[in-house]
């Protein structure tokens, strides 16, 4: 069975023999396009009268030439124009590939993200690559990564299995954020035989103390089958929509559920999940049929 890594590497190596398709997937869609993906919904149990706009950025994968600090700042400027009440960052700020001319330091990408503005704040979680590229965090098996520290230094709170309550127009809602589900790599040098997650869904939701609606930030969408109806909306990234998507289908997705949670608005048993197509690339700088996007969600 072909893996996502194998699929993207094969596609990346085929540029010379497919110049038209490859040139677009390699140079145009990843670099020159930016889509606004807009969703409007009123989840079951949503507080009547509470109208909330959420702007979401996912999977920046900062590196040059594909996602420079200047480009991140430009994306943030566009996000600020969208009038969000809150802006959320869904993880994977660190680069996830070797085909780069320069890695963008965490001090650079966090400075660019510090330009984001929203009346009810900017709220972040970590992604798997933020953990995987931090050797000290891997050795420790927890704690803060360089990503946690970089965001904290520019005043952006990181939710590591935490829930906080906010109000708009006197009506409350919660933002809850999970630590990453694939944070810890297996291997002898880490003394781990299997991939390990640091997420605590039950402990995070236990911090919710009233009936106000909950927005859950979870980098990987694979947690969704375990999310209870108490959560109004789950927001995820990680998949990049498969990075290659044909006629609404992604052939290879980094999820144990395959294409089920690859992209877009998914409703299961009256529970709502929105998966962003993300902004950057991992494994190979290829996008086709799923351009970089900012997600806007109007609730209520």
What domains sit in the chain, N to C, each tagged with a CATH number?
A: 35-299 (3.60.21.10)
- Backbone dihedral angles phi then psi of residue 79, each to the nearest 5 degrees: -60, -40
Q: What is the pLDDT of residues 158-167, one digit of tens each?
A: 999 999 999 9
264: tokens are 């877009």
Q: What is the pLDDT of residues 15-68, one digit of tens each?
A: 444 444 455 555 555 555 799 999 999 999 999 999 999 999 999 999 999 999
Cβ-Cβ contacts under 8 Å for 17 (sequence gap 6 or more): none
Q: What is the pLDDT of residues 173-184, one digit of tens each?
A: 999 999 999 999
Q: What is the pLDDT of residues 209-240, one digit of tens each?
A: 999 999 999 999 999 999 999 999 999 999 99
Instruction: Report the distance separating Cα 234 and Cα 216, nearest Å.
Output: 5
**pTM for the predicted model, two decimal places:** 0.91
Give pLDDT, residue 142.
Answer: 95
Percent of the chain at pLDDT > 70 equals: 89
To the nearest 10 degrees (0 to 180), the angle between helices 146-153 and 106-113 is 40
Give pLDDT, residue 239.
Answer: 97
Q: How far separated are the first and last CA of the chain, in Å rounded?
A: 43
- Mean per-residue pLDDT for 197-212? 98
């Amino acid at each position: 069975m072909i893996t996502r890594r194998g699929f993207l590497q094969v596609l990346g190596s085929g540029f010379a023999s497919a110049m038209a398709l490859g040139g677009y997937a390699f140079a145009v869609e990843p670099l020159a396009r930016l889509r606004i993906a807009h969703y409007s919904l009123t989840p079951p149990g949503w507080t009547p009268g509470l109208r909330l706009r959420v702007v979401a950025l996912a999977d920046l994968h900062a590196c040059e030439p594909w996602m420079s600090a200047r480009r991140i700042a430009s994306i943030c400027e566009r996000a600020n124009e969208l009038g969000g009440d809150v802006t959320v960052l869904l993880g994977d700020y660190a680069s996830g590939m070797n085909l780069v001319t320069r890695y963008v330091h965490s001090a650079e990408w966090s400075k660019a993200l510090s330009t984001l503005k929203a009346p009810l704040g900017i709220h972040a979680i970590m992604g798997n690559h933020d953990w995987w590229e931090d050797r000290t965090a891997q050795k420790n098996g927890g704690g803060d990564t360089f990503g946690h520290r970089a965001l904290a230094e520019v005043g952006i709170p990181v939710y590591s299995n935490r829930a906080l309550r906010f109000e708009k127009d006197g009506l409350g809602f919660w933002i809850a954020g999970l630590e990453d589900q694939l944070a810890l790599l297996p291997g002898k040098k880490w003394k781990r035989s299997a991939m390990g997650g640091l997420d605590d869904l039950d402990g995070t939701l236990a911090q919710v103390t009233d009936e106000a609606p909950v927005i859950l930030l979870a980098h990987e969408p694979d947690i969704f089958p375990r999310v209870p109806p108490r959560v109004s909306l789950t927001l995820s990234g990680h998949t990049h929509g498969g990075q290659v998507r044909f006629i609404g289908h992604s052939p290879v997705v980094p999820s144990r559920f395959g294409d089920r949670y690859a992209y877009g608005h998914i409703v299961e048993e009256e529970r709502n999940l929105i998966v962003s197509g993300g902004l950057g690339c991992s494994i190979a700088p290829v996008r086709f049929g799923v351009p970089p996007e900012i997600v806007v969600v109007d609730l209520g």
